[in-house]
Each structure stands twice: as C-alpha cells, then as structure tokens.
Amino acid sequence: MAPDHSRLIDSLDGLLAFPVTPFRSSGELDLPRFETHLSELLEAKPGALFVACGTGEFASLTLAEHRELLRVAIAHVGGDVPVFAGAGGGTQVAIEFTRSAERAGADGVLVLPPYLQVGPPRGLVEHYRRIAAATDLAVIPYQRATAIFTPESVCELAEIDGVIALKDGHGDVELLQRIRTETGGRLLLLNGMPTAETFARAFAGIGVRAYSSATLAFAPAIARAFHDAFERGDDAVQDALLTEFYVPLARLRHTTNGYAVSLVKAGLDIQGRSAGPVRPPLVDTSPEHRAELARLLERGHAVVPDASATSGARPVA
C-alpha cells in the first residue's frame, strides 16, 4: 500500500522556506550557524522546509554533507514542519540521495532537474518513476532547465505513487494552464520561480497560490508582509513591495549567473547574520551589487506595513 501523503500535501500552502547552506571561510559546513538560520526561518511560520535544494547549493554538496544537513535540520525542527530534501543528478545519483534522505528521516524530496542530459518526455517521466519507486518519501519534481514537461507527461507523473506536486521554475503560464486543465487539478502545482513574488498574482490567476520564497531566507519581514498582503488581496501593499524591493531585486539577480543564491547570502551578511561564502562555480556578490542590495533592503523594510494596521483585514476567499 502506498504511503498516505495527504498531511504533506496540506502543508504545501503559503510560504515555503528554502534555507541556505552556511559555509565557513575554510569551505566546511557551519552547522551551528545552520541551526541559527533554521530558527530564524521557523519564526516566519513556513508551511514546509526545503533543505539542501537550489538555494541550499545542492549541486555543490557531497552526499555526506547532504546527510549531515538533514540530520541537523530534522532534529532542530522536531516535527513542527515537514522537511523536504533536495535530490538531483542522473537517475541513480538522485536515487542515492533520496534513499539517504529517507534514512535521515526526511518527509520528502524535491527532485532538481537532471544535469546536462536532455531526454524526451517519456525519458523524463521514467526518471521520476524510478526515483519514486525507490522510496516511500513524497516526491516533487522541479520543472525548469532540462526538465520541462508536456501536459501529457504531467498526467503520467500524477499517476505515479508518491509524486505529490510539481514545482514550476519555468514560468510559462500558458503551459501551466494546459497542465492544470489536462490533469484536472489532480497534482498540486507550486510557484517555484527564482523571485516567486513577482509571479505570485499571475500564477494565482490559474489557481497556483503556494510559492517558495528566497526572500524569506534573508528578509523574513519583507517576505511575510508580501505574503500576508497577497493572501488578503491588498494590492497597494503588494505594489509597494514590488516597486521598492522585488522588481529591483529581480533586475539585480539577472545581472550575474548564480545571483539567485549569492544575493541571499549577501543579504544575510549585510544584516549581520552571515552564512559564509558560496561555493564555486557560484561567486559572491560584487561590492557595487552588495551596496545596491543594502539599499533595496532598506527600501523594502521601509514599506513593510505596521502589523497592527492590517491585523483586522479579511483574507480573500
């Protein structure tokens, strides 16, 4: 009998947290800093925690480091929120990371696209079918880069035991609408764009409301303010945060490959909560971009509304 993942599906609502992986200047994992970082994230009450995924530099981690991060995260969370682990690479490598995550006690895996190799839709489906067959964990394929699905292939994914959702980082709203129509809503869709808040309203228009927030990892007050405004339909607050913070942040991210991660770590460091450097091939932010990010953080926090002014607002049905 397939495991019942209904509790996990229910948890994939609202803000989804993606912690960074802190490194010491020597390049080793900084596990005490990781625990502090997790505590900071949990204060924002995310629906689920995704460890060692894209923001957590999965591609730069060894299997032993991946296992250690999960061990610390699962012990630290203590069951308060579900913990998903990153997995990826070729099929056998992804299975190895998935099985390791299962032994560590994770609730599920977010499977990043296969590296470099590009196969036809039936090959992609078989990749995820084999991963799901190798574990009792919940499996979430991540659509982007070398893993772009047809609506028909997503219908096949929806029939695989253990596959509970599809995270989209591709951003083709027409394709997502076709997927949603073809699957009849049987598979939960998640907004996983690099600056997901800039897509939130567009994705909501086709029924995709839950999203992963990289901003939550370094500016939780901004991330929470935007999400709360999004949930209650407050366009004025959303527009102010988009204008002063999110759209300029996306523009800054586009200047340099890898900044989707580097800017998160720079944002932490600017605010006195350093998580160390990124690992190659990523690069740390340049001094001028770091200064620009500092200005954006100041502008973003300046337009975060007073919680008492919005506490009585009713969420949109």
The yes-or-no answer on residue 142 being catalytic is yes
Q: C-alpha distances in angstroms, 206 versus 174, 191, 203?
A: 9, 11, 6
Q: Which stretch of DSSP H or E encloses residue 109?
A: strand 108-111
Q: For residue 205, what are the contacts with CB-CB under 8 A and spacing of at least 6? A: 173
For 279, phi then psi, to 5°, come to -95, 145
Q: How far apart are the first and last CA of the chain?
A: 36
Q: Which stretch of DSSP H or E encloses residue 270?
A: helix 259-270
Could you say which of 167, 211, 246, 259 is catalytic? 167
Tokens 């900044």 -> residue? 259
Greatest Cα pair distance, the chain, in angstroms, is 56
The encoded tokens of residue 90 equal 């070729």
Could you say which of 128, 142, 246, 259 is catalytic? 142
Q: Smallest Cα–Cα separation from 141: which of 152, 153, 264, 216?
A: 153
Would you say 220 and 44 are in contact if contact means Cβ atoms under 8 Å apart?
Answer: yes
55 in a known ligand binding site: yes
Q: Smallest Cα–Cα separation from 292: which of 259, 314, 258?
A: 259
The yes-or-no answer on residue 167 being catalytic is yes
Active-site residue numbers? Answer: 142, 167
Binding residues for pyruvate: 55
Binding residues: 55
